[in-house]
Amino acid sequence: MPRRTTQLYALCSVSATIDLMAKSTTHFSCQNCGASYSRWVGKCESCGAWNSLLEEAAAPSIKAGKTVAASAVRTERLDSIKAGDRPRFPSGLDEVDQVLGGGIVPGSVILLSGDPGIGKSTLVLQIAAALAQSKHVLYVSGEESTSQIKLRADRLKLAADGLDLLSETSVDSIIATITGGQYDLVIIDSIQTMAVDILTGAPGTVGQITASSQALQSVAKGRHISLLIIGHVTKDGTIAGPKILEHLVDVVLYLEGDRYGAFKALRGIKNRFGSTSEVGIFEMVDSGLIPVPNPSASLLAERQPGPGSVVLATLEGTRPLLVEVQALVVPTSFGYPKRTAVGFDLNRLNLLVAVLTKRAGLNLSSADIYVNVVGGLRITEPAADLAIILSIASAHSDVAVPGDLVAFGEVGLNGEIRSVNQVAKRLTEAKRLGLSRAIGPKFGTAAGIQGVATVADAVRLLNPSKDPVINRRDT
């Protein structure tokens, strides 16, 4: 064999060997669901996400037939465990305690998420400063230096002399710091910047997020330290990283609202120590996020009654809230009418428009419909259906809804108005703010409500002199 051919053959053999070694020591993980592949693919077969695979170092495999020795662990009887040994402690902000169910549970892991710039770091720094007066708190930032945190604290005029700061991204170093001190609360800002030394993947990958969260959780549970973690969100509004991050923690909080608006809502999505779907209302001012003591009055402070404006009595967890629902109905300039919803599900809006067209006779096929929930809140309760229906009908017929009227009720596909829960709480909140009249379901409601059985009955109330106003059509 010629010498040049021998060299090429040897070079190809070495290249193939290196390639096989690389394939055996690395794999590709989906950053959306955590699925693992031996080679890169454009679309994840597990969750359907595109371009979500990143190459990571594979974990060492255990040879077949080889077992790992483990010792037995002592169990505890349920009736011998005292749950009240470590009571909750307040966070320093009443609205946060409302969402958490009464305060922070020692040893709990709390995940706070929200859009960029919504105020997550501001909120946790306020909590840390308030607790540092009586508790030992460690604030760990992987995004800012300690001097930058100091500048933010000075801007917010926070007295946090007893707060410990650490600018670090290595989870191993953070755990060593935690075990070396007696901390009551540790704040991680954010989990996407953290990494464990044993993995070679970059911070923010599925492997690093999972390993970092599990390591921090293990230390927090073992030493009864409360852990508050900030998590990023994706462009779809979900928490970045694998779903195991949400399953791993005890509490999941979302900070919602318009980035440039005054009001922010802290919503509880998961809570192992209290009720879910609680919400706390905050107002963004120069000194940070301050709790709103009377959310309903604040949300209705700038209301101007008119066509398309209806007050909704909704429930956020156990708290009744009054919010203004606005609708605008105009003739469309295109062949296909437009439907837009802010703070309300668009698919639900399309369903209600179809019910109005079929069951109440409103001709909305040639009209653009815009619905807005004032204040930056997002309403998901089915009891908002009746208020949305009335606002659209009011805007369509150009008839104003009385300013002292509040509405609530679920709408079915047959046009019936279904009953809702906690009616007494809704009416009490409405009367407290001077709203003396209410429209709601006819069946299963308390006294003091003008009950309606169908959507057509509700629309007819807008203009009783005509029979009914639903026959009118905008020109």
pTM of the predicted model as reported, rounded to 2 decimal places:
0.77
Concatenated DSSP letters of 193-258: G-B-TT--SPTTSHHHHHHHHHHHHHHHHHHT-EEEEEE-B-TTSSBSS-THHHHHSSEEEEEES-
d(C-alpha 362, C-alpha 456), whole Å: 10
Q: What is the CATH number of domain 297-471?
A: 3.30.230.10
Residues 6+ apart with CB under 8 A from 136: 162, 164, 181, 182, 183, 184, 185
Measured in degrees and rounded to the nearest 5, phi and psi for residue 349 equal -65, -45
Selection from 401, 385, 311 nearest residue 344 by Cα: 385
Quick one: DSSP state of residue 38?
A: S
What residues does each domain of the chain span?
Answer: 25-57, 89-293, 297-471
pLDDT along the chain (475 residues), means of 10: 48 43 65 83 88 73 61 86 78 92 94 91 95 95 94 90 93 95 94 89 84 94 94 74 82 86 86 85 90 90 93 89 96 90 95 95 93 90 96 94 93 94 91 92 74 92 56 35
Selection from 50, 48, 27 nearest residue 207 by Cα: 27
What class, spelled out in words, does domain 89-293 have in CATH? alpha beta
Per DSSP, helices labelled H in 306-410 are: 346-359, 385-397
Residues 6+ apart with CB under 8 A from 244: 34, 210, 213
Other Cβ atoms closer than 10 A to 219: 17
Q: What is the pLDDT of residue 179?
A: 93
106 CB burial (10 A radius; 0-12, 13-18, 19+) = middle
Quick one: DSSP state of residue 50?
A: B
Q: What is the pLDDT of residue 23?
A: 43
Selection from 391, 393, 313 nearest residue 359 by Cα: 393
Residues 6+ apart with CB under 8 A from 91: 97, 100, 103, 104, 127, 130, 131
Strands 405-407 and 367-373: unpaired
